[in-house]
Structure 1
Amino acid sequence: MSIGIVYQDDWLVAVNKAPGLLVHRSWLDRHETRFALQLTRDAVGGHVYAAHRLDRPTSGLLLFAKSPEVARSLAEIFAERRVEKTYLALVRGYLPEQGRLDYPLAHRLDDIADALADPDKPAQEAVTRWHSLARVELPFAVSKQHATSRYSLARLHPETGRKHQLRRHLAHLRHPIVGDTTHGDGRHNRFFRERFGCGRLLLHALGLELRHPVTAAPLRLSAAPDHDFTALCDELGWRNALAGALADRVESGFSTDHRAFA
């Protein structure tokens, strides 16, 4: 198994992570033998260091540093919110055209990964912006309350980086991400498995914008959705909407007046 490199220079490498792939070895699955970090290390022929994380079921752009020093610089950039992050998600219902949710999230502890964490840690600030890109109404009664089922393709911008933030925020808005087995709606997850053969979390890390940690040059990175995500958008009639979202990543250039680069 290999991993797709979408950007590389002397200090950084960015890859397109497949859904279901762990970023690195974890106690969450001690039997797993494939990790994005190891696959990237094999691809570039040297050590790499994770600059941030993606949940295992989330696909998309993952950035690594090639040295511990650059990794520390990147960690500061992410911690200080000097990164613009863009995701694509397929959600239940007609998501409003655009909005911003400022809703603190309590820290949810994992029995293994968070064994040493403070159980009384207060809720943390969490902010997400979104834009609805496309909608569809399907003639299937997934729930007993409605004769049809509605879905939206959304572009998401997390301004903070809390655990499962996008999944929890969309669930709070009552527009859970399809395929989310923890915070989503099991009826709609099952419908997509049975109707479209799609059992994955439909959340994709599309882009990152930041200043290069070494050269300070504007850096705009993108990773296109995988075939399953793209084929599903085609089947739902969202080919143009998805193409527009991808073209925007290429054509709109780098926004130097965004607060992340002030």
Structure 2
Amino acid sequence: MSPLFLMVVAERREENAEGVYRTMKIAKIKGKGSMLQLQLSDTNDWYVNVVRRLILSDVPTIAIEIVEIQKNDSILYDEVLSHRLGLVPLTTDLKSYRLPSAEEIQTQEYLAQSSCKFTLEAKGPCIVYAKDLKSKDPKVKPAFPDMPLTKLLEGQEIRLEATAVMGVGRTHAKWSPGHTFYRRIPEITIKSSNLACAQVCPTGTLADKGGKLQVTDEKTCILCMACVDVDSGKSVDVKPGTDFLLHVESYGQLESAEIVEKAIEVFNVQLKEFDQLVKQAE
């Protein structure tokens, strides 16, 4: 995990009942490919939920917004083909690109810092894939090259130009960088070794260890409460804990850790802007 990620997270501090500030702790549980799972400690529901919402709605990515079709002989209508192109995830370089200004959006004349041009030319018979999109910037390309767009028969042809523009998920879901959710890590207390609780546990959180009921990993519990229902909670007590599990799955535009970093960075900027507005109103 990058130093920036740890540094930004460390800015989240909360004053407890004793008037002592505490810093949110974070641990990487899983992180392979597009998947990321983080354990968050010393925080609360509202902050984790804010991060979740910002990931979905305010982390910028680039996606095709304008399509100029010169020729389309495929079975797909121009509107349907354009819609499919808009939903193709494109790798995004946040250092080189920025969100367009209000004037750019109004005139639909986007600058090089906020947009990237693509061309597509294909003749049948063939299947047209996302990798057939030719980008003016090698850093911006389809995240999944083998994603099919349409099929061309003998004599059919497609020629078009497309403009990918930076945007955010609150404007359209095609700019959303990934899927995310969170849940509390439960606290599980074993009162008696009723092995029937292990038999009904769907995730293996409870297991039979030498004739004794034991907890293998609280983080795998999905709060289905099947173990409690065995004997109305006489053997096992399950209640929400104080730590959280944050799951992030990237759609391919950005790395999962980069998505979380950017979401927290956006939140910090929004808090500073809000603080300035409050001071101006005083």
Q: TM-score, normalised by structure 1?
A: 0.29
Answer with 1 or 2: which has the greater Rg. 2
| TM-score, structure 2 normalization | 0.27
Higher strand share: 2
